[in-house]
């Protein structure tokens, strides 16, 4: 709301909320939805008014919970006035933000503030009821007498902060609701959805085995292998056609992400970087290998290992003439990588494979085996009890076709009896 006041109470002058020549075309008239909103809002307002009048009676106002519910009802009545009645009118005329910019901007800020204040009041009501059951002393200290009204200043202040110092929601009749972005339909959401879904699917594929190992037995080296997959970053670098700011932002974010990973972890970045690399290693010897293939220099890194020239080309142009090394696997340690031309991957790119040599650390068991006190068997009473317990357990143990399972059962039975 502060932007509104800075713009001389004219929403058309608010930065990022300007209305262009075609802005009025965004809107849709719906008499059915408009009438339904208005009828519903009117009925609910009448019901709220009756309930609040009852709660205002003295015998109810002495209870803190009714004071809170009365304030909550006022919040809800004010919210319904915007969310139902005013929204119904906007649906009848097919309004969007640029139809009534100042009205929608102000009422949107008010609606958001009322919603947040209502939610905070509900939270206070929950605390009030829990304390009434669990801690009467604290309940009396916070909500006794008129202290309830002091506590209710919290949602009031919170509501005012949201109303005046956060961006408002704006009505859009095309979506029948209030949105932070009134022209959300113009954004390429389908492309964003596919990209985000692909990234999430890759992360899920790597994360599922990692979670599985937290609860079920897994092979000894699975934790290390799963952790390596966890650290794989799948990215697509901007091309030469992108702005310099976009390229710098991409590689800056990538470098910041890598810096956040502990140095002891193996970091792998792989994919189509759209970057040709040359042989000039001056100043970047630690990240740029000596066995380059192309004549153009970039600072993204290259192989340390010698390969035939055809094994360094990772992409063929559609005309079949030009070929470049633009797909890379960057590893934080020296591991060999090369292209495999014979793999049919259905693309003009070749398959790039890296050979990882991992040094697996042997983890010794830290469990301490407590020796059995066999001297107790010299006591005839203890020996008799142990023999009887062991015999009774073996009688119900039974045999299986799995010798490993039989051995585990025998060992567990003897150990339990000895304990």
Give, in order, the Cα–Cα distances in Å from 89 to each of 38, 77, 84, 303, 370.
Answer: 8, 17, 9, 66, 79
Cα torsion through 53, 58, 59, 61, rounded to 10: 80
Q: How many Cα atoms sit within 13 Å of 4 on the Cβ side?
A: 19
Q: What is the pTM of this model?
A: 0.46
Q: Tens digit of pLDDT for each residue in 275-284?
A: 555 555 566 5
pLDDT at position 158: 94
Radius of gyration (C-alpha) of the chain in whole angstroms: 35
36 pLDDT band (50/70/90 cuts)?
very high
Q: Tens digit of pLDDT for each residue in 84-118?
A: 999 999 999 888 877 888 888 889 999 999 999 99
Residue 88 sits at the vertex; the CA angle it makes with 100 and 110, to the nearest 5 degrees, is: 60
143 burial via Cβ count (<10 Å: 0-12, 13-18, 19+)? buried
In this structure, are residues 72 and 118 in contact, taking their beta carbons and an 8 Å threshold?
yes
Report if residue 192 sits inside a domain.
no
Which of 11-25, 68-82, 234-248, 395-409 holds the top average pLDDT?
Answer: 68-82
DSSP letters spanning 321-381: S-EE--EEEEESS--EEEEETT---SSSBPEEEEE----PPPPPP-PPPPPP-GGGGGSHH
Return the minimum-mean-pLDDT range out of 333-337, 395-399, 411-415. 333-337
Characterize the bridge pairing of strands 336-340 and 351-355.
antiparallel
Number of domains in the chain: 3
What is the C-alpha to C-alpha distance for residues 158 and 164, in angstroms, rounded to an integer? 10
Residues 350 and 383 in one domain: no
Residues 147 and 53 in one domain: yes
150 vs 210 pLDDT, higher one: 150
β-pair partners for 338? 353
Domain of residue 395, residue span: 374-418
Return the minimum-mean-pLDDT range out of 103-107, 177-181, 263-267, 296-300. 296-300
Report if residue 198 sits inside a domain.
no
What is the C-alpha to C-alpha distance for residues 40 and 33, in angstroms, rounded to an integer? 10
Report if residue 383 sits inside a domain.
yes
199 vs 338 pLDDT, higher one: 338
Q: Tens digit of pLDDT for each residue in 164-196?
A: 888 888 888 888 888 887 665 555 555 556 656
| Last residue within a domain, chosen from 326, 355, 384 | 355
Q: Tens digit of pLDDT for each residue in 153-165?
A: 999 999 999 988 8
């Amino acid at each position: 709301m502060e932007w509104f006041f800075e713009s001389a109470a004219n929403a058309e002058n608010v930065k990022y909320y300007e209305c262009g020549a075609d802005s009025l075309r965004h809107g849709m008239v719906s008499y059915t939805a408009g009438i339904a909103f208005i009828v519903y809002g009117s009925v609910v307002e009448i019901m709220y008014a009756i309930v609040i009048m009852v709660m205002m009676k003295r015998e109810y106002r002495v209870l803190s919970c009714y004071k809170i519910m009365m304030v909550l009802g006022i919040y809800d009545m004010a919210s319904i006035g915007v969310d139902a009645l005013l929204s119904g009118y906007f649906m009848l005329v097919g309004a969007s933000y640029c139809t009534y910019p100042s009205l929608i901007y102000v009422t949107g800020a008010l609606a958001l503030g009322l919603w947040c204040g209502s939610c905070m009041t509900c939270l206070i009501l929950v605390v009030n009821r829990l304390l009434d059951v669990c801690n009467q002393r604290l309940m009396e200290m916070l909500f006794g007498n008129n202290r309830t009204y002091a506590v209710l200043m919290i949602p009031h202040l919170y509501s005012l902060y949201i109303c005046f110092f956060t961006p408002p929601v704006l009505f859009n009749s095309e979506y029948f609701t209030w949105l932070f972005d009134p022209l959300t339909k113009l954004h390429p959401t389908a492309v964003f959805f596919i990209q985000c879904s692909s990234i999430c699917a890759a992360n899920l594929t790597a994360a599922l085995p990692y979670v599985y190992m937290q609860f079920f037995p897994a092979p000894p080296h699975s934790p290390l292998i799963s952790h390596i997959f966890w650290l794989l970053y799948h990215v697509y670098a901007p091309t030469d056609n992108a702005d310099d700011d976009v390229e710098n932002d991409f590689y800056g974010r990538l470098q910041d992400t890598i810096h956040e990973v502990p140095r002891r972890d193996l970091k792998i970045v792989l994919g189509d970087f759209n970057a040709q690399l040359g042989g000039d290693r001056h100043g970047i010897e630690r990240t740029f290998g000596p066995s380059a293939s192309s004549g153009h220099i970039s600072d993204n890194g290259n192989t340390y290992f010698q390969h035939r020239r055809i094994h360094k080309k990772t992409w063929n142009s559609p005309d079949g003439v030009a070929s470049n090394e633009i797909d890379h696997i960057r590893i934080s340690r020296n591991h060999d990588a090369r292209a495999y031309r014979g793999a049919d991957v259905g693309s003009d790119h070749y398959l790039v494979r890296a050979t990882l040599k991992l040094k697996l650390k042997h983890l010794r068991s830290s469990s301490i085996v407590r020796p059995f006190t066999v001297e107790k068997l010299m006591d005839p009473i203890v020996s008799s009890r142990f023999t009887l317990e062991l015999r009774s357990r073996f009688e119900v143990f039974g045999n299986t076709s799995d010798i490993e399972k039989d051995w585990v059962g025998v060992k567990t039975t003897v150990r339990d009896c000895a304990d």
